[in-house]
Amino acid sequence: MSIPTYFISCDWGTTNFRLRLVETASLKVLQEHKTKQGVRRVFDKFTQQQTLNQKDFFANYLLEQLQEFPKEHQKHTIVIAGMASANIGLQELPYADLPIHTLKNDLFFKHILLKNNTKVLLISGVKSDAGMMRGEEIQAIGLSDLLTSYKAGILLLPGTHSKHIVYENEMFTKLKTYMTGELFEVLSSRSILKNSVSKNSWSEKRKEAFKKGVQLGFDGHLTANLFSIRAQHIINGAKKKNNYYVLSGMLIGEELSYLNKTNKKVFLAAAEPMLSMYELALENILEQNQLVKFNANDLEKAFLKGQKNILLQYVK
């Protein structure tokens, strides 16, 4: 089977859905379409009807979104990564087990034929005893070319559920998942702290508040320190906008605190403002030459490259 000139990249996460028309050789994105219809929301809509089974319901949504592309590009193979392979997605696939090799096809994927003979390659996730991921493994594999010269280190992928992935000699060997982003959302919007913080954009003037929180996170005693945010607001009149970043710093500091003991390279891959925030936190515990950064563009390219690798495995 020949290598296709184009493919459709689908990133179907828990909360968002994205399609991109990609030129295979260059990984150039020719068109993009995004919605807020992540797997969780589509699954909720599925449960509210009784006409279609789960697979067909998700497939219909996918095919509807393909209509946003020109007709001549609606028949390309769709490569799907993310939560679409979970039990609340298009079709459940088992997790592959760590370790996985960056240069081999250690992931599970399944060929699915939809209506009108639309081809789908659905990619599974990866698991270890301490965590699992669906989607981030594609980014990790796509970043592997940038990691080979370092031989070993820890790849950090911040997010709602941050991933810390150990990299050793072209292998991803271990994984831990931190609920940092979800905890921040719950604490800042649904806990007793919600009246002591105020959401605002990351800026230079919030750095000191964030660094204060990071240090508290490094020091431990997280639950006691969390309540101090409310106390500082009520007793000392601490600004809610600053408290928002004290809270963020505490949780990120707690997530990263174990790295104070490592002499390994730390690879940080994130979009802004997470890239700057995690970098600021890590500066307190790492030597200057320990940290290697990858930005949003690197991550976008890595995701497409990882999907392309799966596509090439299939066509071979």
- 140-186 pLDDT per residue, tens: 999 999 999 998 999 999 999 999 999 999 999 999 999 999 999 99
**Residue closest to 269 by CA, chosen among 291, 245, 247, 286:** 291
Class of 179-285 per CATH? alpha beta
Which part of the chain has CATH 3.30.420.300? 6-150+297-315
pTM of structure: 0.93
Neighbouring C-beta atoms of residue 51, cutoff 10 Å: 7
> What's the confidence (pLDDT) of residue 1?
66
Give the neighbor-by-neighbor strand order of the sheet with 152-157. 100-101, 171-178, 162-168, 152-157, 265-269, 291-294
> What's the confidence (pLDDT) of residue 314?
83
- 207-241 pLDDT per residue, tens: 999 999 999 999 988 988 999 999 999 999 999 99
Q: Are strands 171-178 and 6-12 parallel, antiparallel or unpaired?
A: unpaired
Which part of the chain has CATH 3.30.420.310? 179-285
Measured CA to CA, the distance from residue 91 to residue 8 in angstroms comes to 18
The structural architecture, per CATH, of the domain 6-150+297-315 is: 2-Layer Sandwich (3.30)
**Residue 153 pairs with which residues in a beta bridge?**
167, 265
* Section 81-95 average pLDDT: 96
